[in-house]
Structure 1
Amino acid sequence: MVFSLNLANVYGFDLGAYSAILIEAETGQVLYEHNADEELPPASITKTMAMLIAMEAIESGEVSLEDTVTVSRYAESMGGSQIFLDAGTELTIEDLLKAVTVASANDASVALAEGISGSYYSFVDKMNERAKELKMENTNFRNTTGLPEAEHYTTARDITKMSQKVIKYPEIREWGQIWVDYIDLPNRQAMLTNTNRLILNYQGMDGIKTGHTSEAGYGLASSAVRDDMRLISVVLKAESESERQELTTRLLDYGFNNFRQQTLISDDEAIHNVEIPGSRNGTASVRVAQDLNVVIPRNDDYETELNYYIEEEYDFPILEGETVGEVGVKMNGQEISRKEIVAAEEINRANIFTRLFRGAANTVRDFINR
């Protein structure tokens, strides 16, 4: 579960973009935003969702990177950015994904969708279903390409939600850093040139997706990591490719220069004396399943508070590593993140006499406090 603490106004930074947002990728904390909820045509940034659906299908075992797809006439007919695939050509899902990620190929995105779902529009339905699951409340997809179509829109904020998911896949990060590559086709090699020029000159850049149409202007959803902190930025409706690069650079620089990630609890750190109802000792040692991190301004002190949410009933014994609840962190009174907590040791059930004694003691205590 992730919450969002908006730190956008901490430094009074003004990017000057039509629509933009900057978040920390793990926590989703907003570090800057301007007009982030206006519904806009995303152009090829749309393909971020197609990439995510494909990677999740691979992860689940539904398909594999080695599976082959036959290019349809519909895929061949796509205009705009493409690698000029001929109908009947067979490619692997890996090649198609690489063509989408690196070269933003419309024909490859359609072939990929058909290969995974069988039907192109069934895949588009999956995109919308996944958008709802990710609480992308101001998004509607009509295609995988981002080519102009009525009622095809999203927002800068919604783009960060799918970007957070897709950038977790190492293949996406690897392909996102490729400048030039080639795919072998029956009679030629298709050259893939990255549409995101910032991978050449912005430190830590590893994705995610560019977009451009006359209607949408120039957009870029980007990911960069420094000092173990990953930032995701989205800039929409820039007036030129150079402007979207400049705005993205300024936005990411603002984030890395003014904020830092802090680990409040590491996953190898035992948390002692946490109350576990019904346990032999009444309390036990636990730990977080993953590091509990927050993002804070570099030059300001922010008060943090931890709260434990322990499940009320268990099947004893609770084995080491089993989930016992969650720990939430508040910053300046606002909850920003929760992490699962697990038993750091085997926890056994209290015997019947101990449970009866504790029940009686609690009854007396409640009576006194009435």
Structure 2
Amino acid sequence: MIKRLIVCSLLFICAALAQAEQSLIPAPPQLAASAYILVDAHTGQVLVEHDADKQIPPASLTKMMTAYIVSEEIEKGSIKETDQVRISEKAWRKGGSKMFVKVGNKVPVIDLLRGVIVQSGNDASIALAEHVSGSEEVFAEVMNQQAELLGMRDTHFVNSTGWPAEGHLTTARDLATLARAVIADHPQHYDIYSEKYFSYAGINQPNRNRLLWRDPAVDGLKTGHTEEAGYCLVASAVKRGMRLIAVVVGTDSDEKRASETQKLLAYGFRYFQTHKVYSKDDTLQTERVWGGKSGQVGISVQEDVFVTIPRGGEENIKADLIIDGELEAPLEKGQPVGKVVVTLDGETVADVPAVAAEEVEKAGFFKRIWDSIKRFVMGFFN
């Protein structure tokens, strides 16, 4: 008996030590950058941040918004990938990085989109802005409206390229928000961000994102550089089902923006994980429905529920389903009926609506009367 108690005690201690080891998370790396942020793309959870709300010039990171709006217009049917865009003199003359389109030529939208994303072409950005909105100035207004819709609260765009201009500002946090939208909203074009080269007019140019060559987990997004902004990078990578987005701005070299971003991504993947609590098709439980043709309804969630947790911390997750009182027919499929609260070590990490998994029609007159009687009697004895 004593031997069994000793063995059980040792097992308990080992389990406790293992759990403690799993929960140990060191301080994040300090980067040689003016601002940075690391975000779980699935949940939006911020894992690391430094001066993430400091307004900074975004340089060519601006082009993520330019590309996002073009993808939006294609999805809405306002323009097509095959549309031929006439290159204006303004687009052709623009300095900085180029796709090397020629004035008066007609270029397909999809080629210009690659020129924006892979080659960071200022000429391609202006050409697309003019094609979508008639002028770059009007397009900038659309960019600001889209930024507001995405929740980019500290961002203001003046142009489509990131060319230095007074009032053309954003933050690391807002850039992470934009990157999440680029990945989630337009997956049909996201693959372009991982393309290492794009050749146009006989000129083959490489993607400036060095991490595409160094780390097979990295599949985007965009680099930027001006004298004022420094060297900047927004990068995304996927490992073991977890997608991270790192924004690093204001480094002093092309090499530094890549190496500092790699440090941030390595830290996130080493110490955290994305855990799926529920899938949208899961029936969490069934609930009584009064006055319905069916007396019960399944309860589910509208979207997959993900949480970001320390690696190995699944056992510390608790999920509670809270129903808003007794349910009465009719109920529509997807109608909110309560919420699911997910906690980690007692702290709320997700709070999402619980919904009816199927429609429940109102019952006939006599069944409703009978349900009312049963409800009354049950209430009386409770």
TM range (shorter): 0.7 to 0.9
Are residues 1:113 and 2:150 paired? no
Change (3 A) 1:146 1:361: farther
SS, match of residue 362 in structure 2: coil
Pairs within 5 Å for 1:158-173: 158-168=174-184, 169-173=186-190
SS, match of residue 221 in structure 2: strand
Change (3 A) 1:28 1:180: same
Match of 1:222 in 2: 235
The offset of 1:118, in angstroms, is: 1.9
Query: Equivalents in 2 of 1:285, 1:274: separation in Å?
Result: 6
Change (3 A) 1:278 1:147: farther
Match of 1:32 in 2: 48
The offset of 1:87, in angstroms, is: 1.6
The offset of 1:189, in angstroms, is: 2.5
Pairs within 5 Å for 1:1-370: 11-16=26-31, 17-168=33-184, 169-183=186-200, 188-274=201-287, 279-280=292-293, 283-300=296-313, 302-308=316-322, 316=330, 318=332, 322-325=333-336, 327-331=339-343, 332-338=346-352, 341-343=355-357, 345-350=358-363, 351-354=367-370, 356-357=372-373, 360=376
More helix by proportion, 1 or 2? 2
The offset of 1:167, in angstroms, is: 1.5
The offset of 1:329, in angstroms, is: 3.5
Give the stretch that moved more between structures: 104-113 or 322-331. Answer: 322-331
Query: Equivalents in 1 of 2:221, 2:290: separation in Å?
Result: 46
The offset of 1:317, in angstroms, is: 6.5
Paired letter, 2:28 = F
The offset of 1:285, in angstroms, is: 1.1
Paired letter, 1:262 = H
Give the stretch that moved more between structures: 289-298 or 299-308. Answer: 299-308
SS, match of residue 265 in structure 2: helix
TM-score of the two chains, using structure 1 as the length reference: 0.86
Question: What is the RMSD of the two structures over their aligned residues, measured on CA atoms?
Answer: 2.7
Query: Equivalents in 2 of 1:336, 1:126: separation in Å?
Result: 32
Contact 1:292 1:339 (8 Å CA) reproduced: no
SS, match of residue 329 in structure 1: strand
SS, match of residue 215 in structure 2: coil
The offset of 1:22, in angstroms, is: 0.6
Give the stretch that moved more between structures: 347-356 or 174-183. Answer: 347-356
Percent identity, please.
35
Match of 1:3 in 2: none
Query: Equivalents in 2 of 1:182, 1:271: separation in Å?
Result: 51
SS, match of residue 176 in structure 2: helix
Paired letter, 2:199 = Y
TM-score of the two chains, using structure 2 as the length reference: 0.83
SS, match of residue 103 in structure 1: coil
SS, match of residue 118 in structure 2: helix
Query: Residues 236-273 of structure 1: CA distance to partner in whole angstroms, max 9, x if unpaired?
Result: 10111111101110111111111112111123422222
Change (3 A) 1:279 1:157: farther
Query: Equivalents in 2 of 1:308, 1:65: separation in Å?
Result: 47
Contact 2:68 2:182 (8 Å CA) reproduced: yes
The offset of 1:337, in angstroms, is: 4.9
Contact 1:311 1:324 (8 Å CA) reproduced: no
SS, match of residue 162 in structure 2: coil
Change (3 A) 1:361 1:115: farther
The offset of 1:113, in angstroms, is: 1.0
Change (3 A) 1:142 1:273: same
Contact 1:204 1:226 (8 Å CA) reproduced: yes
The higher radius of gyration belongs to 2
The offset of 1:233, in angstroms, is: 0.6
Query: Equivalents in 2 of 1:235, 1:309: separation in Å?
Result: 43
The offset of 1:347, in angstroms, is: 2.3
Query: Equivalents in 2 of 1:117, 1:362: separation in Å?
Result: 64
Contact 1:305 1:329 (8 Å CA) reproduced: yes
The offset of 1:81, in angstroms, is: 0.9
Paired letter, 1:333 = E
Query: Equivalents in 1 of 2:329, 2:128: separation in Å?
Result: 45
SS, match of residue 167 in structure 1: helix
Contact 1:211 1:218 (8 Å CA) reproduced: yes
Query: Equivalents in 2 of 1:162, 1:80: separation in Å?
Result: 23
Contact 1:68 1:90 (8 Å CA) reproduced: yes
Contact 1:167 1:208 (8 Å CA) reproduced: no
Paired letter, 2:263 = R
